[in-house]
């Protein structure tokens, strides 16, 4: 695949899949490489979808966390912590517990949870949400890089190992040992989380960041074979998004929930408040990478593929999602976009690929 990676890199005007070549060979990574090749030829034939904004010269590369240098990791972490020091834009009347810019993202996710999960817009909404986070890190906190992703199958070969214990308590070391979780819980998985003073989870409820590492979730749902199977065996959008999000009634978590529960804890295991753990955005960058890889296997038929309704698992019953539906992130502070504009990472407001 190395030759193919170089071909794609040449077409896209970037150094392409070099980080992929330096780590263990995964079938899911090979699918990503093939997708980059397909994308390169597609762009060569059809051009960039929004050449006024995105060209060969400015296509950003999102990289796997373990491939970043120490300086790059520090730059990212400092920018995240910077957000938590800036005042919130969300009015207290909407989310009294939102005390900083980081909380604006958490509050937005809590407010919209029931219309962005188990829905047709799940992938496009979270793609835009993650891009908005990256954009705010860069524009408001001086971050120089782009949003990294956490490659789920990667730990053993990426210099990262899961600890021998499970945890469940407060994070006591590392850059987020003093991180304050201000919002939630709404649907906690830990039984001893302090209740929020507001039933919506939007009241002020400061507490430590807790993680409850689960090897069972990691080994059961986010292996390379799980990711590769999702990409290869999902022939249509509905199959892809529902398999990714899980079939809980039948005990199938899928890579989305499996990834969240690998970290777990509070608020990481809470469907509503999970962005309160900064690991959320590395996980959702990988969700987006997997979606991007799936799209790139058959770009002509998958770029604008869409299915599903606008309510959580269609409860209550609702209309079908449309490409013209609006994604609005409220006080996160980015413009509204249509789903169709969030369907291509080289189009709409975007200009990035994954390497």
pLDDT tens-digit readout, 70-107: 999 999 999 999 999 999 999 999 999 999 999 999 99
Task: Write down the mean pLDDT value for the chain.
Answer: 92
239 vs 153, residue with greater confidence? 239
Confidence of residue 325 (pLDDT cuts 50, 70, 90): very high
184 vs 25, residue with greater confidence? 184
Closest CA to 179 of 74, 84, 279, 274: 84
Q: Average pLDDT, stretch 199-226?
A: 93
**Distance between CA atoms of 126 and 247, rounded to whole angstroms?**
19
**Distance between CA atoms of 146 and 19, rounded to whole angstroms?**
15
Least confident of 246-255, 267-276, 277-286: 246-255
Is residue 21 over pLDDT 80? no
Percent over 90 (pLDDT), the chain:
82
β-strand 210-212 against 207-208: which pairing, if any?
unpaired
Is residue 56 over pLDDT 70? yes
What's the confidence (pLDDT) of residue 6? Answer: 44
Closest CA to 35 of 290, 311, 343, 325: 290
Confidence of residue 174 (pLDDT cuts 50, 70, 90): very high
**Distance between CA atoms of 25 and 261, rounded to whole angstroms?**
25
Least confident of 2-11, 57-66, 201-210, 342-351: 2-11
What's the confidence (pLDDT) of residue 215? Answer: 84
The CATH number corresponding to 70-354 among 1.10.1280.10, 1.10.3210.10, 3.40.50.150, 1.20.1420.30 equals 1.10.1280.10
Least confident of 186-190, 208-212, 216-220, 299-303: 216-220
Q: How many residues does the chain have?
A: 355
Q: How far is CA 341 from the centre of its chain?
A: 17
Percent over 70 (pLDDT), the chain:
90
Q: Average pLDDT, stretch 222-247?
A: 96
Q: End-to-end distance of the chain based on CA atoms, in angstroms?
A: 14
What's the confidence (pLDDT) of residue 12? Answer: 54
Q: Average pLDDT, stretch 194-209?
A: 98
Tens-place pLDDT, residues 301-312: 999 999 999 999
* Per-residue tokens: 109: 């996710």
What's the confidence (pLDDT) of residue 139? Answer: 99
Spatial contact of 114 and 311, defined as CB atoms under 8 Å apart: yes
The pair phi, psi for residue 238, each rounded to 5°, is -60, -45
What's the confidence (pLDDT) of residue 23? Answer: 53
Domains of the chain, by residue range, sit at 70-354
252 vs 113, residue with greater confidence? 113
For every residue of 300-350, DSSP letters joined together read HHHTT----BSSGGGSS--PBP-TT-EE--GGG----EEGGGGS-TTSTT-
Q: Average pLDDT, stretch 146-150?
A: 98
Residue 286 C-beta-side C-alpha neighbours within 13 Å: 24
């Amino acid at each position: 695949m190395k030759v193919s990676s170089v071909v794609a890199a040449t077409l896209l005007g970037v150094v392409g899949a070099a980080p992929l070549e330096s780590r263990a060979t995964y079938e899911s990574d090979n699918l990503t490489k093939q997708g980059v090749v397909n994308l390169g030829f597609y762009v060569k034939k059809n051009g960039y979808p929004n050449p006024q904004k995105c060209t060969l010269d400015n296509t950003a590369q999102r990289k796997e966390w373990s491939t970043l240098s120490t300086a790059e990791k520090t730059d990212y972490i400092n920018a995240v912590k910077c957000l938590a020091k800036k005042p919130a834009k969300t009015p207290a009347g909407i989310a009294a517990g939102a005390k900083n810019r980081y909380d604006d993202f958490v509050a937005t996710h809590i407010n919209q949870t029931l219309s962005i999960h188990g829905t047709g817009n799940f992938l496009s909404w979270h793609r835009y949400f993650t891009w908005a986070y990256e954009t705010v890190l860069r524009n408001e906190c001086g971050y120089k890089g782009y949003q990294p992703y956490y490659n789920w199958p990667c730990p053993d070969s990426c210099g990262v190992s899961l600890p021998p214990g499970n945890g469940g308590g407060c994070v006591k070391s590392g850059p987020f040992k003093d991180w304050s979780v201000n919002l939630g819980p709404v649907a906690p998985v830990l039984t001893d989380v302090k209740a929020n003073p507001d039933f919506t989870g939007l009241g002020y409820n400061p507490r430590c960041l807790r993680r409850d590492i689960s090897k069972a979730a990691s080994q059961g749902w986010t292996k390379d074979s799980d990711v590769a199977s999702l990409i290869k065996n999902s022939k249509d959008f509905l199959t892809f998004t529902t398999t990714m999000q899980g079939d809980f009634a039948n005990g199938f978590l899928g890579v989305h929930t499996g990834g969240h529960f690998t970290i777990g804890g509070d608020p990481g295991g809470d469907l509503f408040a999970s962005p309160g753990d900064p690991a959320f955005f590395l996980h959702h960058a990988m969700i987006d990478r997997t979606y991007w890889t799936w799209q790139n296997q058959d770009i002509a038929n998958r770029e604008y593929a869409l299915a599903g309704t606008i309510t959580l698992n269609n409860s209550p019953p609702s209309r079908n999602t449309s490409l013209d539906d609006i994604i609005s992130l409220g006080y996160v502070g980015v413009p509204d976009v249509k789903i169709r504009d969030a369907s291509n990472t080289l189009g709409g407001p975007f200009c990035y690929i994954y390497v």
